[in-house]
């Protein structure tokens, strides 16, 4: 349990009371603990919070949401922490005594819907909380950072601890007891928030799940700036047919190295494919059966690391994985914009970053901006947003646990970036044994950015984390499933890094290939 703020507050209140009523405060720790009601239903939780201001959060609405096929009965609370930080707290009728905080995505700017991680947590009985991280906009806009220093600081690192202060107080007011455990989970930007909390607020959560974390903001944005300039260069655009050519060539070379040809390169460390074999004769574009030098320059920009400010900021290489042509995990949406570079997600993210953090000029064209032209702006953005500190000893000392997860075919953030961070943590905390005491790292082969792709993208990491934190049972090999239309299509073991799931079942057996039992976590 984290510092018992409610007891401290209760004692403080008692100290302020006169001797006349002091007896009611009791004389030892147990007696000072507030007594939880036998049960609190969702309507009571709502009425306890309606109209209140708690730890700076003013409740703007509190109403029950009836149980449905999608979600159980809960009290939905919206609140504002003045002047601009908005949060939503969901208090289930059947509370498990714990709090779950889910991070945002992109540049945040809105409260995430009840879906994905927070819906799963609510179904498990967790009280859940989300925020907009302190500004209102679409997730592809960093306009808030241009002139709103508070918004920039809230987005960078302050929203999570600020929201947590209020959320814990609200949970106490609603249920009569503070959360027994508090967990954070986030992917991409939410994964950055997760690692930021582990680094800067090591006592805030009992456990953290960081998935595909965008922890390296300056490095990643600079890498994307470089990549998108290559796509925008004359002849740099890679069409769908050429992406198919590239992906097939990678699969032909590497798919089988995990024991099964299933469209997933599960053993990337055995993959030594060189895209230069696809070069058009002479280097000029000669149609869809080869890649020109301009197109290979895009491939090489992504598959090589990037470094800025004399190595102060770096970004890991993003290896080819054979899913470059996948609808969800491929390059179309993220890199090429399917023929329109200025609609590619990486173009859009780096462009709003250049405009609002670096050039500080909304009219700046990011494709003509030299990324290192203003080092002070890089330093400033890093101080706000980078969660690159590998020294998690304070987090470890608080007895908290961290689960790292990354999709093996992530087209946005390289799984190698998470591997590099994990290895830096291992070094910083004193080696593998010390790391194993509080970190688990998993790569899910064939999975795209946070989800999607041909791989098994669904795993119950929250229960694995809770079992570790609450019962002391550290997670080993976990399970992952691929779900389509509500039905499980395939299962795989989710192996601890650096292991991968190697197929050990019968050959040419589609049913066997869909079952996790026919795979063995194997060292590369
Ligand atoms: Ca394979």
In this prediction, residue 40 has a pLDDT band, given cuts at 50, 70 and 90, of: confident
H-type alpha helices, 386-476: 393-397, 415-429, 432-436, 461-471
d(CA 264, ligand 1 centre) in Å: 4
**What crossing angle do the helices spanning 189-200 and 159-175 adopt, rounded to 10°?**
80
pLDDT: is 58 or 21 the higher one?
Answer: 58
Q: At residue 21, does pLDDT exceed 60?
A: no
d(CA 422, ligand 1 centre) in Å: 25
User: What's the rounded mean pLDDT across residues 315-338?
Assistant: 96
d(CA 469, ligand 1 centre) in Å: 34
d(CA 502, ligand 1 centre) in Å: 8
Least confident of 4-13, 152-161, 277-286, 480-489: 4-13
d(CA 421, ligand 1 centre) in Å: 26
Write down the pLDDT at residue 26: 34
d(CA 308, ligand 1 centre) in Å: 35
d(CA 320, ligand 1 centre) in Å: 14
The dihedral of CA 197, 198, 202, 207: what is its sign? positive
In this prediction, residue 16 has a pLDDT band, given cuts at 50, 70 and 90, of: very low
Q: At residue 10, does pLDDT exceed 60?
A: no
Write down the pLDDT at residue 388: 98
Write down the pLDDT at residue 23: 33
d(CA 515, ligand 1 centre) in Å: 14
DSSP conformational letter for 291? B
d(CA 256, ligand 1 centre) in Å: 5
pLDDT more than 70, % of the chain: 93
Q: How far apart are CA 515 and CA 509, in angstroms?
A: 11
d(CA 318, ligand 1 centre) in Å: 19
User: What's the rounded mean pLDDT across residues 112-122?
Assistant: 95
d(CA 490, ligand 1 centre) in Å: 14
pLDDT: is 328 or 75 the higher one?
Answer: 75
Ramachandran bin of 196, using left for φ above 0, alpha for ψ from -120 to 50, beta for the remaining angles: alpha
d(CA 454, ligand 1 centre) in Å: 11
d(CA 263, ligand 1 centre) in Å: 6
User: What's the rounded mean pLDDT across residues 81-106?
Assistant: 97
d(CA 147, ligand 1 centre) in Å: 49
d(CA 240, ligand 1 centre) in Å: 22
Between the alpha carbon of residue 272 and those of residues 255, 275, 276, 301, the distances in Å are: 11, 10, 12, 17
| Residue range 163-221, pLDDT digits in tens | 999 999 999 999 999 999 999 999 999 999 999 999 999 999 999 999 999 999 999 99
Write down the pLDDT at residue 329: 86
Write down the pLDDT at residue 31: 38
| Residue range 431-476, pLDDT digits in tens | 999 999 999 999 999 999 999 999 999 999 999 999 999 999 999 9
Judging by DSSP bridges, how do beta strands 207-211 and 74-81 pair with one another? unpaired
The pTM (predicted TM-score) of the whole model is 0.93
Write down the pLDDT at residue 328: 84
d(CA 48, ligand 1 centre) in Å: 54
d(CA 323, ligand 1 centre) in Å: 11
d(CA 501, ligand 1 centre) in Å: 9
Q: How far apart are CA 218 and CA 306, in angstroms?
A: 11
**In this structure, what token pair is assigned to residue 254?**
């590497």
d(CA 80, ligand 1 centre) in Å: 49
| Residue range 275-322, pLDDT digits in tens | 999 999 999 999 999 999 999 999 999 999 999 999 999 999 999 999
pLDDT: is 423 or 34 the higher one?
Answer: 423
d(CA 258, ligand 1 centre) in Å: 5
- The closest of 496, 522, 507 to 444, measured between CA atoms, is 496
d(CA 322, ligand 1 centre) in Å: 10
User: What's the rounded mean pLDDT across residues 32-47?
Assistant: 70
Q: At residue 428, does pLDDT exceed 50?
A: yes
Write down the pLDDT at residue 339: 97
Give me the chain's average pLDDT, please. Answer: 93
d(CA 89, ligand 1 centre) in Å: 42
Q: At residue 503, does pLDDT exceed 50?
A: yes
- The closest of 265, 280, 285 to 524, measured between CA atoms, is 265
d(CA 489, ligand 1 centre) in Å: 16
Per-residue exposure over 79-105, b if at least 16 CB sit within 10 Å of its own CB, e if not: bbbeebbbbbbbbbbebbbbbbbbbbb
Find the length of the chain: 524
d(CA 451, ligand 1 centre) in Å: 18
Question: Could you tell me which residues come within 8 angstroms of residue 508 by beta carbon, excluding any fewer than 6 positions away?
Answer: none
Write down the pLDDT at residue 25: 36
d(CA 297, ligand 1 centre) in Å: 27
Q: At residue 20, does pLDDT exceed 90?
A: no
In this prediction, residue 5 has a pLDDT band, given cuts at 50, 70 and 90, of: very low
d(CA 261, ligand 1 centre) in Å: 4
| Residue range 224-247, pLDDT digits in tens | 999 999 999 999 999 999 999 999
């Amino acid at each position: 349990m984290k510092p018992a703020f409610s007891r401290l507050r209760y004692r403080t209140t008692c100290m302020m009371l006169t001797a006349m009523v002091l007896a009611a405060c009791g004389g030892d720790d147990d007696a000072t603990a507030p007594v939880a009601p036998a049960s609190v239903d969702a309507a009571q939780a709502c009425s306890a919070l309606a109209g209140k201001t708690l730890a700076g959060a003013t409740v703007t609405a509190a109403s029950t949401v009836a149980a449905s096929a999608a979600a159980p009965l809960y009290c939905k609370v919206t609140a504002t922490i003045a002047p601009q930080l908005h949060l939503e707290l969901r208090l289930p009728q059947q509370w498990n005594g714990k709090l779950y905080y889910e991070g945002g995505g992109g540049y945040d700017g809105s409260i995430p819907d009840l879906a994905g991680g927070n819906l799963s947590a609510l179904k498990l009985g967790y009280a859940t909380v989300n925020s907009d991280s302190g500004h209102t906009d679409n997730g592809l806009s960093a306009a808030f950072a241009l002139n709103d220093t508070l918004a920039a600081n809230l987005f960078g690192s302050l929203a999570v601890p600020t929201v947590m202060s209020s959320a814990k107080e609200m949970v106490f007011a609603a249920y009569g007891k503070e959360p027994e455990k508090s967990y954070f989970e986030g992917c991409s930007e939410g994964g950055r928030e997760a690692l930021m909390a582990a680094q800067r607020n090591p006592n805030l959560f009992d456990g953290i799940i960081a998935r595909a974390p965008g922890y390296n903001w300056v490095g990643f944005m600079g890498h994307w700036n470089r990549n998108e300039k290559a796509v925008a260069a004359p002849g740099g655009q890679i069409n769908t047919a050429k992406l198919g050519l590239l992906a097939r060539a990678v699969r032909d070379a590497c798919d089988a190295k995990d024991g099964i040809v299933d469209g997933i390169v599960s053993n990337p460390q055995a993959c030594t494919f060189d895209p230069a074999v696809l070069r058009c004769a002479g280097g000029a574009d000669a149609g869809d059966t080869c890649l020109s030098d301009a197109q290979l320059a895009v491939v090489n920009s992504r598959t090589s690391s990037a470094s800025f400010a004399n190595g102060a900021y770096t970004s890991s290489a993003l290896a080819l994985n054979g899913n470059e042509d996948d609808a969800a995990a491929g390059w179309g949406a993220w890199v090429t914009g399917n023929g329109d570079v200025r609609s590619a997600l990486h173009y859009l993210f780096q462009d709003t970053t250049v405009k609002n953090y670096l050039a500080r000029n909304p009219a700046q064209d990011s494709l003509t901006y030299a990324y290192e032209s203003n080092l002070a702006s890089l330093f400033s953005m890093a101080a706000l947003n980078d969660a690159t500190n590998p020294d998690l000893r304070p987090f470890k000392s608080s007895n908290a646990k961290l689960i790292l997860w990354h999709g093996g075919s992530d087209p946005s953030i390289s799984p190698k970036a998470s591997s590099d961070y994990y290895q830096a943590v291992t070094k910083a905390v004193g080696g593998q044994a010390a790391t194993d005491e509080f970190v688990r790292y998993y790569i899910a082969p064939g999975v795209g950015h946070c989800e999607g792709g041909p791989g098994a993208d669904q795993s119950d990491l929250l229960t694995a984390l809770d079992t570790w934190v609450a019962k002391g049972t550290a997670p080993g090999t976990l399970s992952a499933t691929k779900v389509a239309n509500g039905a499980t299509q395939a299962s795989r073991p989710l192996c601890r890094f650096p292991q991968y799931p190697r197929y050990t079942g019968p050959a040419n057996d589609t049913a066997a290939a869909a079952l996790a039992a026919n795979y063995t976590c194997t060292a590369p």
